Chains A and B, each alone.
Chain A
Amino acid sequence: MQFLKKRFPVLLAFVLGMVMFIRAFVPAKIAQRLYEGFVNWDLVILGFSAIFAILSLLHYHINKVRRKVPGYGYSVLTLVAFTQMLVLGVFMGTKLGTPAGWEYQWLFVPMQATMFATLAFFIASAAFRAFRARTWEALALLIAGLIVMIGRVPIGEWISPKLGLLSEWIMQNPNMAATRGVLLGVALAQIAISVRIIFGIERTYMGGGD
């Protein structure tokens, strides 16, 4: 049992990882079929992770209702909203012109859009009340931010075409340099972690449990 719980997953990751890695360098039909087979099976497996996410959400809210924690009425609302949307969607479809589509258009879209739109207010308030250049590094951030913020909108170009050109230069040179450095770092980290996963050094992705 210990072999199945602990050793077998690591061995499976190694074998599959090595096979898929070597397959990339083998110009044969079997290599292509292996790739297609894995991709098709992966499509099926990944769908279950979404089902898991939904079940976790329901589990959390049902527990809140069962234990009657303060504010559990909101959890009842969530569960009722979920159930009616699921039933309407599954039995009558989700496209526009169906009840679920109607709820998507007039409930879901406005609420999701507004949740992110409120951030504009907080950014404006924080910019005035908290954004202070107390160090040289913060000053560099501030100046770059101000130039890009005003240079990328029509009013900046109307004030001076040089603002637009300067903001474009910042985006295409120092910004790109730093972003490339970060991207290269991410790529190197991905390569390192991939090797660690294949050779069984990195096992945190398997999750805890017994």
Chain B
Amino acid sequence: MTHMALILLQGTENLLPWQAKMHGFLTGSSMVTLGTWLAAGLTLFMFSFIYKDNPLFRFGEHLYLGVSAGYGASMYWFSYIKPKLIYPLVPVLDPHFGTPEGTLFDPWIIIPAILGAFILLRLIPGWGWLSRITFAFVIGGGTGIGLPLVVSNLFLPQFSATIQEIPWKYAPVPDASLGASMAAYGVPLLNSLILFFGALTVLVYFFFSVEHRGFIGGVSKVGIYFLMIAFGASFGYTIMARVSLLIGRIQFLMFDWVNLEIVQRFAAIFRGG
């Protein structure tokens, strides 16, 4: 029990002999082959959903849920619970205790730890109200920090970029014809006006405090068209994204599972090469 507690609290960063052997075994060819077959099977289980919902897909879905939650919980243990909670309160448990790399004692951590524990009390009926104090702390303070940042780093740069891009003055291109100069001025002017009026009309569309009738209704309608173009562009890119993920899985099935050699030789026969 003591040995297990020590492993738990002091971590596994240092490779003990049995860990080095385990690392070698798990990265060896037999475990890689087993892993590849397992991954391929689970991939096909998940793909079976495109035909219809079935027990194989449900099996894969629930297995994924458990494995991902367990992995996440383990990650939190190493990246947060031990270094940010346990070691500052009990530094002697840190394997680097007594060295310059050891965690310093920080008793003040108990206050945010108690505030954090209030969040967990939401699961206990009658005690959930304590979590309001934590949320008030986090959201109140976070909002106070975020407000000037949102204004200075998001709103103002975006707002000024919309207006600054418009070339207010016509500047002819030296040694160029009038037509070329007009084109060199006209195209950026057109683009910047599209940008300005597009952003303005979209903002008018989202302003629901005024009824969208008459002039405002017309402006809002233009905004809708800009939004439709943006949604169309988004649609095109979304297709690109999803197809990329599919290509990744098919590449795995074809070249990592079925075996690159066999597939390539088969293809070479038909290529005549």
Could you list which residues of chain A lie within 8 angstroms of chain B, going by C-beta atoms?
A: 4-5, 8-10, 12-21, 23-25, 35, 38, 41-52, 54-59, 71, 74-75, 77-86, 88-94, 96-123, 127, 137-138, 140-149, 152-153, 167, 170-185, 187-188, 190-191, 194-195, 197-198, 205-207, 209-210
Contacts and interface: CB of A to CB of B under 8 A. Distances in A.
Contacts of A152: 236-237, 240
Interface of B: 4, 7-8, 11-13, 19, 22-23, 26-27, 31, 34-36, 38-40, 42-43, 46-47, 49-50, 58-78, 80-81, 84-85, 109, 111-113, 115-117, 119-120, 122-123, 126, 128-129, 131-151, 154-155, 158-159, 161-162, 191, 194-203, 205-206, 223-240, 242-243, 245-246, 248-249, 252
A114 B7 contact: no
Contacts of A210: 126, 128-129
Instruction: Name the residue in A104, A111, A167 with the highest tally of chain B Cβ atoms < 10 Å from its Cβ.
Output: A111
A97 B122 CA distance: 38
Contacts of A116: 242, 245
B194 A52 contact: no
A170 B245 CA distance: 25
Contacts of A140: 225, 228-229, 232
B192 to A, nearest CB: 9
A172 B233 CA distance: 11
Contact of A112 (B49, B64, B229): B64
Contacts of A101: 26
A125 B235 CA distance: 14
Contacts, number: 427
Contact of B112 (A45, A86, A97, A143): A45
Given A102-B26, A184-B158, A177 B197 contact: yes
A97 B230 CA distance: 45
Instruction: Name the residue in B26, B74, B122, B155 with the highest tally of chain A Cβ atoms < 10 Å from its Cβ.
Output: B74
A77 B138 CA distance: 36
B191 A38 contact: no
A59 B123 contact: yes
Contacts of A184: 155, 158-159, 162, 199, 203
B132 A45 contact: no
Given A82-B69, A102-B26, A209 B155 contact: no
Contacts of B143: 13, 17, 20, 194, 197-198
Given A12-B133, A184-B155, A187-B154, A42 B43 contact: no
A17 B144 contact: yes
Contacts of B237: 148, 152
Q: Give 10 closest A-B pairs by Cβ, nearest first.
A: A177-B198, A89-B74, A81-B66, A85-B70, A181-B202, A20-B144, A144-B232, A13-B140, A48-B116, A148-B236
Contacts of B71: 85, 89, 94, 100, 103-104, 108
Nearest to B141: A16
B69 A57 contact: yes
